[in-house]
Amino acid sequence: MSARRLVVAVSATAVLAAGAGFGAAQFIQSPADRAADLKPPAAGPVTVPVSKGPLNSTVVTRGDVGFNDTTKITITPGSGGPGVVTGKIPKVGAMIDEGMVILEVSGRPVIALTGRTPNYRTLQPGSKGADVKQLQHALKRLGYDPGEADGRYDSRVGEAVAELYRDLGYEPPEPAGDRSSAEKSAEGALKAAKEKRAAAKKALADATAGPKRSERLSAQGQVDQAEAELKKARNAKPRDSAAIAAAKNRLAVAKAQYDELLERSAGTAERKAVEDAEEAVDDAEEDLAEARDAAATPLPQDEVVVLRDLPRRVDEVAAKLGGASSGSLMTVAGTEPEVVATVTAAEAELLKKGMKATLELPDGTELKARVTKITDGEDDGREITLVPDKVTAKQAAELRGANVKITISVGSSDGEVLSVPSAALFATADGATQVEVQDAEGGGTRMQRVRTGLTADGQTEVHPVDESGADVEEGQATLTEGSLVVVGR
């Protein structure tokens, strides 16, 4: 090897050795350097930017759909105990209107009527009270004429009830006891009284027509003859007192007979007979009315069901053909669906009756609704009831038993507002509210007092204020969109 080549080789080897040593030095650390590298960085604040936009506060939950005013229908057993269901069993979803037969028990109808007074007895002749008045109003609504709604069950009410039964295709109920014979007896007594009245009226008519002319002339002749005899006795010589007295007596008798003849033509006795006959007819008519009332068609307690409101929807049917008519035979509900859900006590504090809500159905369809009731629930929860605004009959049927999402709007900001996470708010010793804002330059922080507004989904509406609590302009020096506020360290 030449001397020149040897120098180049040695030089290259030296350069490579130096490079390798430098590279190795980059991966070799002293214990102190290594500890310094492993030391955590200095702690700094955790910040989030201030947002700006509309803020909406909502309560979101889920609820089950049912129908309002659910009522279980039971039938009071008759005197022979529970009957047997023989027909007219409705299907779930069927509508019940007033005057309908909702079930047939032992071949007899069970009729639905509207009212507030419970059905607690059989209504029959002699019954009086609010339940009778309620029945009279129901019959009028159905197009029958039970007479004045005076709360008294009489023959007119019975006739209207009988007509209702016949229109429904059933024989009217029979009155209790043997009341038809009493009615027939009263009818016979009235007929006899009317005949007697007719005879008395004829006698009065004959009497008031006056005496015959011959009878009147004959009586007048007797008076004239008696007067002539009295005059003759007075003029006789010698004077005969006995003859005069006898003549006076005959004249008095003749005049009395004449007066009686004329008096009979006034019909005084006959008029009295007619008056007595009229009273007898009135008494007989009153007796007949009472007999007819007593024989009026009754309304058996086990053949009617009184519901507060109709129409109703059949929600559940337990009655079975051939089964006993005991216990709950069916459940009916109002025609309007309602949603019942549970919320926390804190959420319930935000809610009020009448608040608007949105229901999201399983298929994604949305319906508008409103809160109608807020009541205590189990544990610390609260139960809320909502009613959809408008629901078609088809939707109502599909909603039964569904579980839906409920969103209730409890407040919204007035347009776009600044908002920060609720965790960014701090209270001062004097009760004011503030946020810690990171300076744009230098990394330091400052405290900014704020006035809070609506809170929704963990965000709280804020407005910058001065030390006195007066609003100040939004900006970099106070608070604005994008400002970084401290939420932790």
Give me the pLDDT at residue 141, please: 97
- Assigned fold of 332-412: Elongation Factor Tu (Ef-tu); domain 3 (2.40.30)
Residues 6+ apart with CB under 8 A from 107: 86
Tell me if residue 280 falls in helix, strand or coil. Answer: helix
Digits of tens for pLDDT over the chain (489 positions)?
A: 444 343 334 344 444 344 444 444 444 555 555 555 555 555 678 999 999 999 888 889 999 988 877 899 999 887 778 899 999 999 988 999 999 999 999 999 999 999 999 999 999 988 999 999 999 999 999 999 999 999 999 989 999 999 999 999 999 998 866 666 766 777 788 888 888 889 888 887 777 766 777 877 888 889 889 888 888 888 887 878 888 899 889 989 988 887 777 776 666 777 788 888 888 888 888 877 777 777 789 999 999 999 988 999 898 999 999 999 999 999 998 878 889 999 988 888 889 999 999 999 888 888 999 999 998 876 678 999 999 988 877 777 778 788 999 999 888 888 899 999 999 999 888 889 999 999 877 678 999 999 998 888 888 999 999 999 999 999 999 999 999 999 988
- Assigned fold of 75-175+296-327: Muramoyl-pentapeptide Carboxypeptidase; domain 1 (1.10.101)
Diameter of the chain by CA atoms?
234
Nearest to 283 by CA among 196, 178, 155: 196
Q: Where are the alpha helices (DSSP H) in 267-319?
A: 268-294
Residue 111 burial (C-beta neighbours within 10 Å; 0-12, 13-18, 19+): buried
Give me the pLDDT at residue 442, please: 63
**DSSP assignment, residue 84?**
B
- Measured CA to CA in angstroms, residue 189 lies from 139, 195, 200, 203, 293 at distances of 33, 10, 17, 21, 17
**DSSP assignment, residue 266?**
T
Residues 6+ apart with CB under 8 A from 7: none
Domain coordinates of the chain in residue numbers? 3-38, 75-175+296-327, 332-412, 417-488
Nearest to 315 by CA among 38, 65, 485: 65
* H or E element at residue 418: strand 417-421
CA 191 to chain centre: 51
Question: From CA 159, how far away is CA 278, in angstroms rounded?
Answer: 28
- Assigned fold of 417-488: 2.40.420
Angle at 346 between CA 340 and CA 347, to 5 degrees: 40
Asked if 275 and 166 count as a contact pair (C-beta separation under 8 A), the reply is no
Question: From CA 377, how far away is CA 382, in angstroms rounded?
Answer: 4
Give me the pLDDT at residue 5, please: 42
Give me the pLDDT at residue 15, please: 40
In the numeric block, which tokens belong to residue 372? 């109608």
Question: From CA 229, how far away is CA 336, in angstroms rounded?
Answer: 109
Position 131, amino acid: D
Question: From CA 14, how far away is CA 4, in angstroms rounded?
Answer: 16
